Amino acid sequence: MENVDQTIEVAINKFQVVMLRLNKEIVEIVKETGLANLLSREQIEAMRIIQTEGKVTINELATLQNIFKTAASKRVAKLEAMGYVQRAHSDNKRIKLIMLSSEGEAFLKEATTVITKAVKARLGNKFTTDEIEQFVDQLTHIDEVFRESKS
């Protein structure tokens, strides 16, 4: 059991450092591709969350981005003013849902293409398709386990 604990501890430490570095790289990629002139990394991240979840409340977005509700509200207001997000229908009038607009979907599709090209250029031929798929599968599995443990 102690060996497993040590392995998890090492993995957590490495993961945190790697994620910080990857976030920095993504910021650089967003700047290099010109997307930063259009939207910030945080705005693009908010749009990806909304796309993935389908519809979210401001509170859910704030929680998922680990920011205050006021910051999430401002972010959504800017995205809404740009036409990238819109209010979604809710059966409960007290719950205000946000979803991507068709313009937001189109922007994210283009942004994904641009970012994918830039990441591919950085990675070169260092990874096979299988290795990338295994990595994504492992991340997805970890995410699922964490979500289940919260339920």
Taking residues 34-61, what's their average pLDDT? Answer: 90
Q: Note the pLDDT of residue 39.
A: 86
Q: Which two tokens stand for residue 111?
A: 């942004």
What are the strands, taking DSSP E only, across the chain? 85-88, 97-100
Q: Where are the domains of the chain?
A: 2-125
Per DSSP, 36 falls in state G
Amino acid at site 146? F
User: Could you tell me which residues are beta bridge partners of residue 98?
Assistant: 56, 87
Strands, E assignment, 49-92: 85-88
Place of tokens 């599968």: 137
Cβ atoms of residues 50 and 85 within 8 Å: yes
In the chain, the percentage of residues whose pLDDT exceeds 90 is 49
Contact between 47 and 79 under an 8 Å Cβ cutoff? The reply is yes
pLDDT at 36 over 80: no
The fold of the 2-125 domain, in CATH, is: Arc Repressor Mutant, subunit A (1.10.10)
> What is the pLDDT at residue 1?
63
Q: Is the whole model's pTM more than 0.85, yes or no?
A: no
User: Are 49 and 58 a contacting pair, CB within 8 Å?
Assistant: no
Indicate the DSSP class of residue 88. E
